[in-house]
Amino acid sequence: MNRKANLTGTSGVYRWSAILGITALTTLLAGCPFDGDNDNVNDNNSDTDTFEVTITNLTAGQPFSPAAVIFHGQHWRAFTTGEPASVALETLAEGGNNASLLAEAADASQVYGHASGQSPIAPGASETVTITLPEAHNRDGLSVSVLTMLVNSNDGLAALNGVSLAALEERQSLHFTALSYDSGTEANTETVDTIPGPAASGGAQEGFNPVRDDVRDAVALHGGVVTQDDGMTGSVLRAQHRWDHPAMRVTVVRTD
């Protein structure tokens, strides 16, 4: 299953109550152009590059929140492993809302363009996001990041965190696999009240909570969920909600 999304298309219908309305908000943030002060950008913006970014969910039971897709220079990062998550990353990791992360990216001088996916991505499904950038191929260190929440978790992310597109020529594609990360901001209790995804239907399904109660306040590779099938009392998750690395596949095509 593959859906094509652009910056103005309508949202898909696959969603859960905790992130209802996120797509409409994040679509307003899409399409940040290059900084016009950079000498490599043509003043009339007549030359552009268009990229199609296809995000595929490789898990068996972890829907993805609407993905944040960000094109940027080599020195910008959405996060650094071993360091505390920003509030914007925490908001995405705990509740699936990418609006703050995209707004934060829009204010960064090394971010050249960004967009949100149109809807959640079901296990096994894909979505394609299209972004057009002025003179992108003339920029040294052009990179891409793709981030999404694994919504049947407390604060799990699938993330491609700043991979280089320097080798990507016109009408070529690059393929990447992405690891999963724990934002380190919320304890992995797996309860019906602390997970926003459909596995916790009937509970409070809390999303973002500013209180950080994990044992470490730092982003790290995710160790996976434990689940009630593994003997974790109080967990709402079952065996089908486990996942392995990689959790996500990303294909970037430079169409022109």
The pLDDT tens digits for 7-42 are 333 333 334 544 544 443 444 344 444 343 343 333
The pLDDT tens digits for 32-74 are 443 433 433 334 445 889 999 999 999 999 999 999 999 999 9
The pLDDT tens digits for 130-160 are 999 987 555 668 999 999 999 999 999 999 9
Q: Is 29 left (phi over 0), alpha (psi -120 to 50) or beta?
A: alpha
In this predicted structure, what is the pLDDT of residue 215?
82
Domain range list for the chain: 2-39+46-254
In this predicted structure, what is the pLDDT of residue 180?
98
User: Residue 115: pLDDT above 60?
Assistant: yes
Which two structure tokens, joined as six digits, stand for 228? Answer: 């009630």
The pLDDT tens digits for 153-169 are 999 999 999 999 988 98
Report which of 222, 180, 218 is spatially closest to residue 80, judged by C-alpha positions: 218
In this predicted structure, what is the pLDDT of residue 134?
82
User: Residue 84: pLDDT above 90?
Assistant: yes
The pLDDT tens digits for 192-202 are 999 999 999 99
Question: What does CATH list as the number for 2-39+46-254?
Answer: 2.60.40.2130
In this predicted structure, what is the pLDDT of residue 47?
84
